[in-house]
Amino acid sequence: MNIQLRNGQKSAIVPYTPSHFKEIHSLNEKEEWSNLVAKHINTREAWDHSTIAYVVINEKRELIGYVRGLTDTKITLYICEILIDKRYRGLGVGKILIDYVHSLYPETRMEMLASSESRTYYEQKSWFVLRF
């Protein structure tokens, strides 16, 4: 799905393929998500088996964000991870990505696990947040 960011840049939401994992891993490293980085083999297998797995690619063919999750398609849509490259935050990428995924399963309630840093942002968007 083609999208336009708040700054006018064009990008696209595309289904994850294994060829994306190197850039996903790099984004995880930059964000210092040490568990996903340290367990990169398990992380890749999780991507390969997730029912929700989408990436955002910019015009330069760079991966600028992703979402991974699980759904039963009728009741619950659970976001496991959503991450946007720091250079693209504030441009609406995360909201577009979440809205897109929810539009695929509109009957579901959407839940996500959030850290203390991200919880406030998600709650401002009226997304249901599970705290850890």
What is the pTM assigned to this prediction?
Answer: 0.88
**What are 37-93's pLDDT values in tens digits?**
999 999 999 999 999 999 999 999 999 999 999 999 999 999 999 999 999 999 999
Tell me the C-alpha distance between 57 and 59, whole Å: 7
Higher pLDDT, 114 or 55: 55
pLDDT band at 124 (very low <50, low <70, confident <90, very high): low
Please give the Cα distance from 69 to 47 (Å, whole number).
9
Q: Which two tokens stand for residue 103?
A: 């539009």
Q: CB neighbours (10 Å) of residue 45?
A: 11
Enter the DSSP assignment of 33. Answer: -
Q: Which helix (H) or strand (E) holds 24?
A: helix 21-31
pLDDT at 114: 67
